[in-house]
Structure 1
Amino acid sequence: MSSSSFIVYCENLRSVNIPESVDQMGDDPFAGCKDIKIDNKSPFFINENGVIFDKSRRFLIHYTASLPDDYYEIPESVEWIGKHGFYKCENLKCVRITKNVKFMGNNAFSDCINIHLINDSPYFAYEGGVLYNREKTTCMHYSMGSGVKDVKLADTVRTIGRNCFWNCTMIDSIEIPKSVRQIGYNPFANCRNVRLINHSPFYATKDGALYNSDFTELVCCPSTAPIEGTVTIPDTVINIGRNAFTGCINLERICIPENVKFISRGAFSECINLKEIEIPESVEDLGDWCFNKCRSLERVIIPRNLSIKPNTFNSCNAEVIGR
């Protein structure tokens, strides 16, 4: 039997039992369950004071967010820290990555608002509040508790991993070096105060927003970009990327050009002051969670033949008008 991520983000869940029959567990299924208590009966896992490992203690799966400690040293048996393993651990101020850790899933320390790291592993590098792979070709994580507000990425970085600056509202600027060739799902989502300084020939900035080099995809539009509440998207744009406007709280109005075909998952989520938007006939796909928590959105005009996914307007009371 396999345990998947069906429990993730259940903030009101207080306890869960892992029965003897469970022999597999995917990416941290308890991520976001802040106050959960886990009773483990499975011989395939170990619950060590709220920290879940596989039976060999080589794979750290979950660290319970409500644990009171402000320091944690990863056991030297651990070789792999799972995806979202320390998600939203707000009490933690420091985690020591020990010498045998070789692998790390996406967003292992995401939303840990007070954290900084001590790295003893030769498989990673940590400098200026940023965790990289050993060669410093991939940016994996920014530590919210590092105190670094102006982030200058290493000039060896080729890939900025998805979500690695997620919710980092304390950052003032991020400098993207010329070596960068790839940026994952908007890694700067909800960096509300950030100014993006780009040197990469594979990307371009215009009016404070970040695009790919040929301006066919809008990667990120932070809250510093709107002018008097408005953003103008170039008419070359075909795709508004995943979480491109997430947390852009200064956005009130936007004109989407007729060339846009795709508005990706979460594109305008948490744009809390966006009031009205018209989706052009050219759009073929409107992503899930696209207008999540757009609490001021009053009206959305969409093409009649455009399908709406179940969570497109989650926590949003806008009137949806087909034309």
Structure 2
Amino acid sequence: MNRTRKLPCLLSLLPVVICAVLMGVRAEAAEVVDSGKCGENLTWTLYEDGLLEISGTGEMEDYAYRNDSPWKVYSEELKSLHLKEGMTTIGNYAFSYCDEFTGDLILPDSVTRIGDRAFYECDGFTGSLTIPDSVTRIGKEAFERCGGFTGDLLIGSGVTEIGSSAFESCKGFTGSLTIGDSVTEIGNWAFAYCDGFTGSLTIGSHVETIGDVAFSGCGFTGDLMIPDSVRTIGSLAFANCGFTGSLTIRDGVTSIGNNAFSGCSGFTGELKIPDSVETIGDHAFDGCGFTGSLTIGNSVKSIGDSAFHDCKGFTGGLIIPDSVTEIKDNAFAFCEGFTGGLTIGKSVRTIEESAFMGCGFTGGLIIPDSVTEIGDFAFWLCSGFTGNLTIGNRVTTIGESAFSGGCGFTGGLILPDSVTKIGKEAFLRCQFDHIVLSRNLIEIGESAFNTAFAYSDSPSVTLTIPASVESIGNKAFAQNKPLAAIEVESGNNAYCSVDGVLYTIDKKILLQCPAGKSGKLEILPSTEIIGDWAFIGCGNLTGRLTIPDCVSEIRGSAFELCYGFTGSLIIPDSVKLIGERAFAYCIGLSDKVIIGKSAWRIASQAFYSCESIKEAYFTGNAPVIVTGAGISKWEAFDWCADGFTIYYLKGTSGWSNPKWEGYPCYPVDEIPEDPGTTEPETMRGDVNGDKKITILDYTILARWLAGWTGYDALVDLEAADLNGDSVVNAKDRMLLARQVVK
């Protein structure tokens, strides 16, 4: 009976005995090249076939540098590695740069620690790698650049610490990766650029720290769940990973580092930042592909630079909680999928540059009283807003283009008395009914309120410049059709208003005529400079345009789109400079323009599309025609009347004939006399004779040309002949359409 029971036991031991015999035979068959101690009870042996064997018990010696291990002198002869049971540690730098090793790497179950750089750049190992359950620590850079592995990476259940760069650039690992529940720390760069992973990533329930760049560039797919044990997610921790599902961050995380999830464009669904989070770092979610709502927890204090930049898939509204004190540059820039309202918490102090640029929010907007500064481009291109804009009573600065780009705010804008500076183009192309400026305002930037009023055919708005204002930029109030007058409060030492037109206090610079002003224009005789865009779009000014004899500069687009002026134009001898597009689209000017003898510089397109001007007479030497960027220098008089010709006084210099700068050009003995100041009774384009040019005029003309009955009596044919060719046809309709649109 006893013999029968022993037989199965003996049979079960047979494979072990055979292996032992074979190993013994193999060891005896291969000649030993060298051997020695590598620990108190560990021995290394190198055989002639390139096998390096570590045997014995206990800890391996730690080495300080890559060449300190005794077998390193045989690096070119190493072929394979056999680590025998009994050893408990693999020393620092033990096998670093031993890239001659090939085949599988098998770690014995007795090992408890893998030292720093133990297998650094051993890129000849292939197959899978299993870290035994006995291992508690994987050292820094332990397997960094071991790019030859081609299978799974299995990390044992006893590992508590994965050192920095432990598996960095191990590009061959495939499948999924599970970080066990025993792990408490994942070091910086631990798995960075392991882009061969194609499955899921599971992070154990006891991980407290995910280091910087820990999983950056990995190819994981599916969902990602950050457990509630995690306190810190390091910078670039998951940057540019391939996740294709949802991201869940459990309550417990306090800090999300810079670029933590940037470039993870495959994330879907909503994102909830838990209440435990206090800081969202710069670029934390930049370029992520979420497709649902965004919820920000009520403990967040700071939203970093570009934190959610270009997350185009977020939907619904957004609430910035009261805990937030700063919203940094580009924080939500181009999150264009938002379709609801934006609520900004009452503790926010600064809304920095481009914070909400290009977002799709709708409804009104309240800037809370806590905010002191609205940065440049903060709400630029937020064209979805449709309600009132309310600015809190502590804001001092509104930055460049802060609300420009077609923000659709309606109603009135009342700037609190705390505001002292309004930047360039701050409210460009908004839609306000009226505007009240701060009583402590000092600086108004260029084009700050350009086209800032809602369009109206009946100008009735008056804008008052406070006494405190010291600086107003060019074009600050240009192209506002509803604006009938600009007034200046008494006591202002820099500016004044005459008949609703804005001048410098000395009345030498004409800054802005409100676009809604109508009737005859009288420019003060003291005027020396007519500023950029001073009269642009003042299409309701009528009659002859008279420029005073003191004017020396007519700057860019000064009279552009002033299509109500009629008759010839005389530029007096005092004028030296005529700016780019200064008289562009003044289609009512007719017959000739006489340019005085001091004009030495005429910018490109100065008289562009003045379609009724047939002749230009110069009384002085040929001026310089200045080119604009990408614009031909011969365009100063382009699209004037067919057959347009230049004439110059004999005896002046710089001219050529029969052409000068591309135009027909001839000398004359004398300049025609002043054609006089007789005012025409008809305004070209005012088809219905109501002294205004509106969409109604276009509709009447279009229907008359189409043969609708009942319109003959409504059309003033002289006014409808916009190009002055004595024929009313589709070309006139096109010119009228251009007037109405411009």
Asked whether the two chains share a fold, i.e. TM above 0.5, the reply is yes
Equivalent residue number for residue 33 of structure 1: none
Check conservation: 2:397, 2:421, Cα contact below 8 A. Answer: no
Give the drift of 1:222. 1.8
Task: Confirm whether residue 196 of structure 1 aligns to residue 486 of structure 2.
Answer: yes
Check conservation: 1:301, 1:321, Cα contact below 8 A. Answer: yes
Give the drift of 1:178. 1.2
Equivalent residue number for residue 37 of structure 1: none
Q: Deviation string for 1:197-228 (max 9, x for gaps)?
A: 2112322222221111111000111245443x
Greater percentage in helix = 2
Check conservation: 1:211, 1:218, Cα contact below 8 A. Answer: yes
Map residues 32-71 of structure 1 onto 2, 5 A cutoff.
Answer: 47-49=310-312, 58-60=328-330, 69=339, 71=341
Deviates more, 1:66-75 or 1:210-219: 66-75
Equivalent residue number for residue 152 of structure 1: 436
The amino acid of 1:245's aligned partner reads F
> Matched residue pairs, number?
268
TM-score scaled to structure 1, two decimals?
A: 0.65
Equivalent residue number for residue 540 of structure 2: 250
Q: Deviation string for 1:16-66 (max 9, x for gaps)?
A: xxxxxxxxxxxxxxxxxxxxxxxx9xxxx9533299xxxxx94349977x9
CA separation of 1:157 and 1:121: change in aligned 2, threshold 3 A: closer
Give the drift of 1:240. 0.3
Give the drift of 1:241. 0.9
Greater percentage in strand = 1
Any idea what SS the aligned residue of 2:503 has?
Answer: strand
Q: Distance in 2 between matches of 1:306 and 1:114?
A: 49
CA separation of 1:120 and 1:158: change in aligned 2, threshold 3 A: closer
Check conservation: 1:269, 1:294, Cα contact below 8 A. Answer: yes
Equivalent residue number for residue 558 of structure 2: 267
Any idea what SS the aligned residue of 2:536 has?
Answer: coil
1:104 maps to which of 365, 370, 375: 375
Q: Deviation string for 1:116-139 (max 9, x for gaps)?
A: 43557965579961457x941124
Map residues 118-267 of structure 1 onto 2, 5 A cutoff.
Answer: 119=391, 123-124=395-396, 129-130=413-414, 135-140=418-423, 141-142=426-427, 144-147=430-433, 149=434, 151-170=435-454, 172-194=461-483, 195-199=485-489, 200-227=492-519, 230-252=520-542, 253-267=544-558
Q: Distance in 1 between matches of 2:584 and 2:331?
A: 28
Unaligned runs of 5+ in 1: 1-39, 52-56
Q: Deviation string for 1:259-283 (max 9, x for gaps)?
A: 1111111111221222343221211
Q: Deviation string for 1:180-211 (max 9, x for gaps)?
A: 12111131111223222211232222222111
TM-score scaled to structure 2, two decimals?
A: 0.31
Any idea what SS the aligned residue of 1:237 has?
Answer: coil
Check conservation: 2:551, 2:574, Cα contact below 8 A. Answer: yes
Equivalent residue number for residue 317 of structure 1: 611
The amino acid of 2:539's aligned partner reads I
* Largest Rg, 1 or 2: 2
Q: Distance in 2 between matches of 1:290 and 1:231?
A: 17
CA separation of 1:116 and 1:289: change in aligned 2, threshold 3 A: farther
Check conservation: 1:130, 1:139, Cα contact below 8 A. Answer: no
Q: Distance in 2 between matches of 1:233 and 1:184?
A: 20
Q: Distance in 2 between matches of 1:259 and 1:157?
A: 32
Equivalent residue number for residue 593 of structure 2: 300
Runs of 4+ aligned structure 1 residues displaced above 6 Å come to 61-64, 73-78, 98-101
Equivalent residue number for residue 15 of structure 1: none
Any idea what SS the aligned residue of 1:81 has?
Answer: coil
The amino acid of 2:607's aligned partner reads F
Give the drift of 1:288. 1.3
Equivalent residue number for residue 290 of structure 1: 582
Q: Say what the alpha-carbon RMSD is for the aligned residues.
A: 4.3
CA separation of 1:258 and 1:78: change in aligned 2, threshold 3 A: same
Q: Distance in 2 between matches of 1:123 and 1:218?
A: 31
